[in-house]
Amino acid sequence: MNTPRSAAQIRREFIEYFVQRCGHTFVPSSPVVPHDDPTLMFTNAGMNQFKPIFLGQRAPDVNTWPGATPGMPTRAANTQKCIRAGGKHNDLDDVGHDTYHHTFFEMLGNWSFGDYFKKEAIEWAWDLLTRVWSIDPQRLHATYFEGDASEGLEPDTEARDLWLKILPPERVHPGNKKDNFWEMGDTGPCGPCSEIHIDLTPDRSGGRLVNAGDARVMEIWNLVFIQFNRGPDGRLSPLPAKHVDTGMGFERICAVIRGVETGRLGQVSNYDTDVFTPIFAAIQRVTGAPAYTGLLESGAQDSNLKPQVFKDVAYRVVADHLRTLTFAITDGASPSNEGRGYVLRRILRRAVRYGRQYLGTHKLFMCELVSAVADAMGEAFPELRSAHGGKNVERVAAIIRDEEASFIKTLDRGIALFEEAAKYAAQHHHGRISGEDAFKLHDTYGFPIDLTELMAEERGLTVNIGEYERLMEEARERSRAKDVAATMAIPEEYLTTETDDRSKYTIDSIEATFLFPAGDAESGSIAWVFDRTCLYGEQGGQTGDKGYLETASGLRIRIVDTRRSGNVVLHFVDHEQLLAATSARVKPGDRVRLQVDSARRAPIMRNHTATHLMNWALREVLGEGVQQKGSLVDPDKTRFDLSHHSAITEAELARIEQLTNEQIARDLPVFTNDNVPVDQKAAMKINGLRAVFGEKYPDKVRVVSIGVPVTDEEAKRARDRGEWSGTTSLLGSPDDPAWRQYSVEFCGGTHVKRTGEIAQLPDGRIAERPFVIVEESAVAKGIRRVVGVTGEKAVAAQRAAEQLWREIDAAFAVARNEPPMEPPEAPTKEPSKEPRASARAAASTQSPPPTAEQLVADLNARLATTELPVLARHRLRARLAELQELAKKQKKEQTKAGAADVIARADKLLAASTRVNNVTLLCGELGSAGIEPLRAACDSLRARAGSAAILLAAESDGKAVLLAAMTADVVARGIKAGDLIKEIAPLVGGRGGGKPDLAQGGGPDAGKIGEAVAAAKAWLQAKLG
């Protein structure tokens, strides 16, 4: 028997057939993370990347496809990476329990865009299956659309007749609209489809099972003929250009061909092919589990086989989920608590639970298997190794390792809780696990609810989902931030009121009518609501405006904050000022003038536009996987939270800063279509648009574009003003790849008119680096925070860094015992007005000059509290570490030199010593010295004095230091060093103690050292006498 085709060979034969024989162009798979389509969680079909062609948004751009010949017929073929887990298309719960469900799979496909149609699609599909792959024609069936009278659709007789030229009538089956009519959505392109099924029954008698959902007769290829368009009214009309979209599951066709070539069609399993067997081998090697045997729950009637069944289920789960995680993380997704990130987290935790519970591994194992996926699939998808600078395997493994380690910390305890809950449910709740237990598993141990349901199903139990959902909703309510604006008591008659705040973008003063006050019972805050306003209410991360209102009587009241609550804008007024104004009360209906604090709003506008530029730069540097997770824009800074698996490197931070400053220097105009919202669905199609995945946007959205007009009308106005030389706009040509070079976002905030304004300083100068990043840190697992400052604050941060650098240089001179020198001037065109270096400043005072050690402590404190560019902070920290090492070395040398001096003075003490009862008595002052030099002198004396009783005293930093020591024979006589210190330390205002042979003490009164030494001498003489 010949060796069965490998999966790689089958994939290659499909591509070569359509490229070499049928004139198609190979188009590489698009990523499984559709970064340009926020409405789609994962790429789930081969046609996703061609949707704009089917929708008529662009012509077939074959000339831009890799390897395409200009003018070549618009035919494409590829194998597309797909994930179906979460949302409408979700196979997650079935994976592992059968032979054919997957969360990750490849979709082989060929397409025609207004070129060939049904005849070629059917004939080529038949030829490839039967001639190239030698599938028995007697086992193949075809379906066609039978028509639908309610839709006025005729049967697809064209496809039927084409099949009848190949197959006998009994193997050509009509199918209803559900099975044989494809639609992209409620509106848009659609058409009949023709499916090819294979009969796996032993005697080829499965014709009646076509479209019956029986695994013995399965669909292997779907040919979709896109020939209609469904309009908004639901009616169908013919398309001017007809398309072909085919899809064939790669894993399934590999299993079928293997079954054909091994003669085991009755035992077809996607998991028995070399798509999975290399990964199974790696799982066994890493976990040490018994080998995979391919058992299914339905086929294991012998209870003795149950343990192996669960092991085989675990093999299938781990292998499938590993492929999903590896490809998704490679293409830019990351596990998190929301959206597609949460789907990945659920998938990982499901795999870890199976591996730990059924494969018997108690170590991190998923992260060790990433390389197995790269080895098995890297030839077809080289990005598995080449992405992220060739470090993709290491990167993906690191992300999985962190997630896996985090979950394992609670998994065992969670499983123990589940076991208790399951036992209780079986005994007391008719086999139903309480929602309270399910909620605790989720809330405390991180068990997704579907994991709990799966574990329950394995035990023949159910979960009280209603109770679980109620507890989840209560938890969500508790966790929602208590926004004062949200708790405002709005009078019932004003619940439908709307504040017209369109003026917030264009003017800073406006007349308005006072409608009503709103109060917050908890905080005592008072907010006023007007019919219109020019103040910006806090929203979308931008802080609210401050300002004041002026009444007709001249009363001016400060507005301390502005926020939105539904459709009204709340103006929080200065309560104390309001109470003090006993006259000229304001009542509903009165006219007032509202005024924005423009000086405060100006830096907010600069920071908000800088935020957009930084968001664009983050994507350019870190890749498409970066997603916004939160932001704050206020007068002082821009703070941006993003999804990213690890700390942003210094090189990446430098590049992000550089790109942002380059966009500022270009003085690009900021376009908003004159603040007129545009259609959200049309705006979503803009190439490069940054939208938050999962965010619910209104039907009309405001687009902020830095550098490119939003609409053709705005482009014309911009050309008239000389701000735009292009011929189109974002909405005029939404798919233009050039738009990715610009920042384009949905945003309701206030912005500068041109990016160059960010660099303008109050005195008229232009900052050279108007934007700097001052912080990069972690705020949660997989979430990084970047904080930036602009304008004056950016300049101040840079000056502070230069000043600290000069002070560190001056401190180095102190540490090296070099003579004082004038600090160098700052290397900037904006000279510092800060005080001179602390070392020099200290030297100019009457107090002793600070030591290098003191300077290090001061500089460390300043480094920790001063706002600095983050890159400068890193360099300063490294430089200061060098200084610290030098200061330690200096202190060590000084200590050594001081000890030698103290030992020399102690030698004089030894020369003048007296003996009492054969014990040398050594009591004396040694001048200025710390405890360590005293210890060195004491050791020297004990080594040379024979039997001795020693008390050494010195002054250190204005305090008394005492050290007592006794040789062993003196201690044997009951004379202890600790007792001596306790006796004399109070004389210097302190205390002390220690061991019988060595003790120390001290006190604040250095003037009493002589008295303490005399008392020690008298105490020793009395004890020895």
Give per-residue pLDDT as tens, 742-797: 999 999 999 999 999 999 999 889 999 999 999 998 877 778 899 999 999 999 99
Query: What is the side-by-side strand order in the sheet with 638-643?
Result: 628-633, 638-643, 783-790, 771-780
pLDDT at position 92? 76
Q: Is residue 634 part of a domain?
A: no
The SS3 of residue 956 is strand
Q: Per the domain annotation, does 611 fall within a domain? A: no
The CATH number that applies at residue 132 is 3.30.930.10
Average pLDDT over residues 864-893: 85
Collapsed DSSP state (helix, strand, coil) of residue 1013? helix
DSSP helix/strand/coil, 144:
strand
Contact between 620 and 659 under an 8 Å Cβ cutoff? The reply is yes
According to the model, what pLDDT value does residue 789 have?
Answer: 97
Report the pLDDT averaged over residues 696-711: 90
What integer best gives the mean pLDDT of the chain?
Answer: 86
* pLDDT at residue 675 is higher than 90: no
Q: Is the pLDDT of residue 316 over 90?
A: yes
Mean pLDDT of 377-381: 94
Domain finish residue from 475, 502, 537: 475
pLDDT cut 70: percent of the chain above it: 89
pLDDT at 478 over 60: no
Q: Look up the CATH number of the domain holding residue 496.
A: 2.40.30.130
Please indicate, yes or no, whether residues 491 and 446 belong to a single structural domain of this protein: no
5-14, 78-87, 988-997: range with lowest mean pLDDT: 78-87
Q: What confidence score (pLDDT) does residue 580 get?
A: 67
User: Are 852 and 927 in a shared domain?
Assistant: no
What is residue 292's predicted lDDT score, i.e. its pLDDT? Answer: 94
- Which residue has better confidence, 491 or 969? 969
Instruction: Please give the average per-residue pLDDT across 297-315, as a whole number.
Output: 78
For residues 43-71, give the mean pLDDT. Answer: 70
Percent of the chain's residues with pLDDT above 90: 50
Question: How does DSSP assign 200-267, residue by residue?
Answer: -STTS-GGGGTTTT-TTEEEEEEEEEEEEEE-TTS-EEEEEEEEEEEEEEHHHHHHHHHHHHHT-GGG
Q: Is the domain of 234 the same as that of 304?
A: no
> pLDDT tier at 91 (50, 70, 90 boundaries)?
low
Q: Residue 379: CA atoms inside 13 Å, Cβ hemisphere, count?
A: 9
**Is residue 806 located within the same domain as residue 950?**
no
Q: Are 718 and 671 in contact (CB under 8 A)?
A: yes
The torsion angles phi and psi of 245, rounded to 5 degrees, stand at: -135, 110
| 882 vs 694, residue with greater confidence | 882
Q: Residues 261, 150: one domain?
A: yes
Q: Say whether both 261 and 410 belong to one domain.
A: no
Inter-residue contact 873 to 801 (CB < 8 Å): yes
Q: Residues 932, 937, 942, 948: what is their CA dihedral angle, to the nearest 10 degrees?
A: -100
* pLDDT reading at 840 higher than 80: no
Evaluate if pTM is beyond 0.75: no
For the residues 810-823, what does the mean pLDDT come to? 68
Q: Between β-strands 509-519 and 526-530, what pairing exists: parallel, antiparallel or unpaired? A: antiparallel
In contact, 945 and 920? CB cutoff 8 Å: yes
Domain that holds residue 945: 913-1024
Choice among 94-103, 323-332, 818-827 with the minimum mean pLDDT: 818-827
Alpha-carbon span 431 to 428, nearest angstrom: 8
Averaged over 468-492, what is the pLDDT?
59
Helix (H), strand (E) counts: the chain: 28, 32
- Give the per-residue pLDDT at 634: 94
825 and 728 together in one domain: no
In a domain, 883, yes or no: yes
User: Between residues 268 and 716, which one has the greater pLDDT?
Assistant: 716
In a shared domain, residues 572 and 449: no
Q: Which residue has the higher pLDDT, 16 or 308?
A: 16
Mean pLDDT of 436-465: 82
Q: Do both 814 and 846 map to the same domain? A: yes
648 is a domain residue: no
Of residues 100 and 597, the one with the higher pLDDT is: 597
Q: Which of 238-242, 631-635, 779-783 has the lowest mean pLDDT?
A: 779-783
Range among 600-614, 616-630, 776-790 rated most confident: 600-614
Domain membership flag for residue 685: yes
Q: Average pLDDT, stretch 70-74?
A: 64
Q: Is 607 inside any structural domain?
A: no
Same structural domain, 513 and 447: no
Return the minimum-mean-pLDDT range out of 90-99, 137-146, 418-427. Answer: 90-99
Domain assignment present for 310: yes
Number of domains the chain is built from: 6
Do 460 and 503 belong together in one domain? no
Closest CA to 103 of 382, 365, 327: 327
Q: Worst-scoring range by mean pLDDT, 184-198, 242-256, 669-683, 821-835?
A: 821-835
- 699-720 average pLDDT score: 94
Cα separation, 163 vs 171, in Å, equals: 9
pLDDT at 486 over 50: no
Residue after which a domain boundary falls, among 753, 779, 805: 753
Cβ-contact 510, 518 below 8 angstroms = no
**Quick one: 493 and 466 in the same domain?**
no
Question: Per the domain annotation, does 106 fall within a domain?
Answer: yes
| Mean pLDDT for the stretch of residues 562-568 | 85
